[in-house]
Amino acid sequence: MGRRIPLALFFFFSSLFARAQAGVHAFNADFAFSGLLPFSWGGERPVLSHLGFDALVAFEYDSPISIPLRIEIAYLRVSPSRIAPTGELYRAWEGGRFALLSGYCFAPFPLGELGDLSVSLLAGGALTAADFTSTALAFAYPSILLEPRLALALRGSSAASPSAKDPVQGPWLALPIELMFRAGTYTLAPGLSLGWRYRLAALI
């Protein structure tokens, strides 16, 4: 039993190495817009919903072992929450967010000449610097993120390019979930993101 575990680890990492040798290092850039439906609560205060959105630009490295590394810079804005029957609400805020994410990208599903369809699951952390809307009250808070994503990589159309048939750009759709820790108040923000990705470079 004791020997089986090292052997299993050996074959596992050997398969990753073999896959890496045949893989592609790809560098991508993308932009996206998200609609958000945050919910805030804290202590004995009620759970109240907001509306919000964010807009982001990102750079992503797709490793040959299907583990992407992603950096995001986003602008976030959240409206005041609905008003509780007792008259309480959570104030609106806006700010800039910096996030680092990683995860796993499953093998793409080819769609003929159109391109490749892939599913990935990312997770990570973020730091947001913000202020309450229409005030000078600034604050910062950390958050954790989970993002399942569906991406369509379209193939190039330039016959003059030797890599014209490689997937180079395309839309992606994600269902991000962010948990924010805002000084005694928690906000859970599920959303729907629509973005467009473009491959900057690929190295075999």
User: Over its length of 204 residues, how does the chain's per-residue pLDDT go in tens digits?
Assistant: 555 555 554 444 444 434 433 446 778 999 999 999 999 999 888 999 999 999 999 999 988 778 899 999 999 999 999 999 989 999 999 999 999 999 999 888 888 888 889 999 999 999 999 999 988 899 999 999 999 999 998 876 443 344 445 667 899 999 999 999 998 899 999 999 999 999 887 655
In a domain, residue 163? The reply is: yes
The pTM assigned to this predicted structure is 0.80
Q: What per-residue confidence (pLDDT) applies to 52? A: 98
pLDDT of residue 39: 97
Tell me, what's the pLDDT at 120? Answer: 95
The total number of structural domains that make up the chain: 1
The CATH number of residue 164's host domain is 2.40.160.20
Q: How far apart are CA 107 and CA 121, in angstroms?
A: 12
CA angle centred on 54, ends 48 and 58, rounded to 5°: 140
Q: Is residue 9 part of a domain?
A: no
Residue 106 in any domain: the answer is yes
Q: How far is CA 77 from CA 11, 26, 88, 109, in A?
A: 48, 32, 20, 35
Residue 14 lies in a domain: no
Q: What is the pLDDT of residue 65?
A: 77
pLDDT at 183: 86
The answer to whether residue 114 sits within a structural domain is yes
Interacting residues of 144 by C-beta distance below 8 A, sequence separation 6+ = 123, 124, 125, 126, 178, 179
Under 8 Å between Cβ of 114 and 123: no
Radius of gyration of the chain (CA): 21
- Structural domain including 84 reads 25-203
Tokens of 124: 């990570």
DSSP character string of 52-91: EEEEEEEEEEE-TTS-EEEEEEEEEEEPPPPPPTTS----
Residue 100 lies in a domain: yes
Which helix (H) or strand (E) segment is 28 a member of? Answer: strand 25-36
Q: What share of residues in the chain are helix, strand, coil (percent, to 5)?
A: 10, 60, 30
Instruction: Indicate whether 15 belongs to any domain.
Output: no
Cα–Cα distance measured from residue 42 to residue 44, given in angstroms and rounded to the nearest whole number:
6
6 in a domain, yes or no?
A: no
